[in-house]
Amino acid sequence: MAQKRMFSLQVVDTDKFMDMSTSAQALYFHLGMHGDDDGFVSSPRKIARAAGCNDDDMRLLAAKGFIIPFDSGVVVITDWKINNTLKNDRYQSTIYQEEMAMLQNDSNGKYLISSGMVPDRFQNGSNSEPQHNLTKHNITKQNKTEDMGADKPPTRHQFLPPTVEEVRAYCTEKGYDIDPDRFVDYYTSNGWKVGKNPMKDWKATVRRWSRKEQPCGKSESKPLWTVGTTV
């Protein structure tokens, strides 16, 4: 594992990052320094305690989309590949392959939970394929999987959470007076669920918020910062 880590201004010099508490910002840097070559951090709680941070800081990083927690206890830095680049001869693949299999990358290299592998209590999906360390072995395995599923019927449409920009554009188009940032933060923290059911149509949920003017602070279910773990 490399001993030097980088942080991109595209990530840390944004209002979204700077609006967080200083302790949450500090925890992000500490987690970034302890990430393996794929951005996975094995002992995030231990690092938080050593840095003088707490679970609220961890929850905030998860709610804002700067980390993705797993129920195994590890987290991954969402913008790892935007922050860091490694030469192939120095790269060492993460040992957390099960968690890695649940991730995909968008066009900028940002980690997202694969829409086909969404856990029950956390969701953040994309339809992009990971492009880092795409070896011959991985290509062969992918082709084999596709061949095995060639005769299977197509799966139903999978829900993809919207970005803040998509929500803002839709609200502007329809004239809805809701806060897109609060909308995305709220449903990111509760796993994009409406009540106890997974969300199927975020635009319909925006319309319902507009009609009822529901404040973000009234939770439909208790927010979670970690996959499968109730805080």
In this predicted structure, what is the pLDDT of residue 154?
52
**Cα–Cα distance for residue pair 2/93, rounded to 1 Å:** 11
Query: So where are the chain's domains?
Result: 9-117+125-146
Check: CB of residue 38 under 8 Å from CB of residue 70: no
Check: CB of residue 127 under 8 Å from CB of residue 160: yes
Please write the tens of the pLDDT for every residue from 122-174: 444 434 334 444 444 444 555 555 555 555 555 556 888 999 999 999 999 98
Global pTM reads: 0.49
**Cα–Cα distance for residue pair 102/68, rounded to 1 Å:** 11
Could you give the residue ranges of the DSSP H alpha helices within 107-226?
Answer: 136-148, 164-174, 180-189, 202-212
In this predicted structure, what is the pLDDT of residue 151?
55
Describe the strand order of the beta sheet including 67-69 as a list of residue ranges.
40-41, 75-77, 67-69
- Cβ neighbours for 203, distance < 8 A, ≥ 6 positions apart: 170
In this predicted structure, what is the pLDDT of residue 142?
53
- The number of helices, as runs of H, and strands, as runs of E, in the chain is 11, 8
3-state secondary structure of 173: helix
**75: amino acid identity, one letter:** V
Residue with tokens 């082709």: 143
3-state secondary structure of 179: coil
In this predicted structure, what is the pLDDT of residue 129?
39
**For residue 76, which of 17, 16, 28, 119 has the smallest C-alpha distance?**
28
| pLDDT < 50 regions, the chain | 119-139, 214-231
In this predicted structure, what is the pLDDT of residue 146?
53
